[in-house]
Every structure is written in structure tokens, then in C-alpha cells.
Amino acid sequence: MSSPRLNPYAPPAYNGLSGDYPYGFVDVDHTYVYQVVLLASQMLRDQQQPIDTDADFVLRAIQLTSMTGVFAVRFSDSQGYYLSNGMLRNAIFLVGTVPVPFPLFPELVFPAGGRVGIDIQDLSVAGNTVELAFRGVKRYRLPAGA
């Protein structure tokens, strides 16, 4: 049973809890940044944010860090399965005009050497520079006996 005072989207330490990573692993905060420059009305399919090969990546939130116009985006996991039925407008990452992290619950695990797939389209009918941050943790396996 969960406490109504716990924020399920916050890291465990923010709720006063120890890490919730599996036994034999340790989580370390990490952010991948995806940057793209789109031409007017350009649609880019099958773009990707590669995941480092040293550890799995646990995606907990996506944050729009900058943009110069409106756009739509769709993400897929390392297996190519889309995370939404259609394209998501950039407004989903904003509260008013302020970018805020868009939490993913439950979190998604991307294997070491995997990728976050990205389809992105400019809707501003002008050039558009977009930067997205994939926020989460790298999940390292501890040596045996640690």
C-alpha cells in the first residue's frame, strides 16, 4: 500500500526512501540529450538516441529543454514498439509556456547498447531547432559479492 504523501514520479531519495533498484544493481542519475534542426514542415522518421553500452538506461521522464517552433514527436523502444498511438504535440511537455518533465510511469528500461527511437515533425512551417532530454538513471550491475 502506498502512502498518499509519496510522489510516484519523484526519485526515491526525494521521498526519503533508499534506492528502489534491484538487488545486485545500483542506479546513477543520467540524462541523454537529443538535438535536431528541422526544416519547414520536415518529417524525420527513425531517428535515434543511442544508449551507452556500459549500463542499461531506465527512462523516467522526457523533458523539452528548448524549441523554436511547434512540432510533433513519437517515441519507440529498442524493439521498435511505439510508446504512443500517434504523434504527440510539443504542448504535452509544457505547463503554460514553461517546459516541465513529462514523467513515464512505470519507468522504461532500455538495454545497454539499445536506442530510443524518435519520429519528429516540424509543424511551424519554418525552421525549428528542438532539444529533448531523456532523464533517468544508468543501472549498473555490481560485482559479485559487493
pLDDT given for residue 90 in this prediction: 93
pLDDT band at 30 (very low <50, low <70, confident <90, very high): very high
Half-sphere exposure of 40 (CA within 13 A, CB side): 2
Contacts within 8 Å (CB) and 24+ apart, 80-83: 80/117, 83/108
pLDDT band at 68 (very low <50, low <70, confident <90, very high): very high
pLDDT given for residue 23 in this prediction: 80
- Region 91-111 average pLDDT: 88
pLDDT given for residue 2 in this prediction: 47
pLDDT band at 15 (very low <50, low <70, confident <90, very high): low
Cα separation values, 59 from 37, 125, 135, 139, 141, Å = 24, 31, 6, 10, 17
pTM of the model: 0.83
pLDDT of 102 higher than 70: yes
Q: Of the candidates 111, 113, 104, which has an alpha carbon nearest to the alpha carbon of residue 136?
A: 104
- Region 46-63 average pLDDT: 95
Q: Element (H or E) spanning 94, and its range?
A: strand 94-95
Query: Which fold, 32-141?
Result: Jelly Rolls (2.60.120)
Q: Of the candidates 52, 36, 54, 56, which has an alpha carbon nearest to the alpha carbon of residue 132?
A: 36
Place of cell 541523454: 32
- Region 104-113 average pLDDT: 92
- Region 65-93 average pLDDT: 93
pLDDT of 130 higher than 80: yes
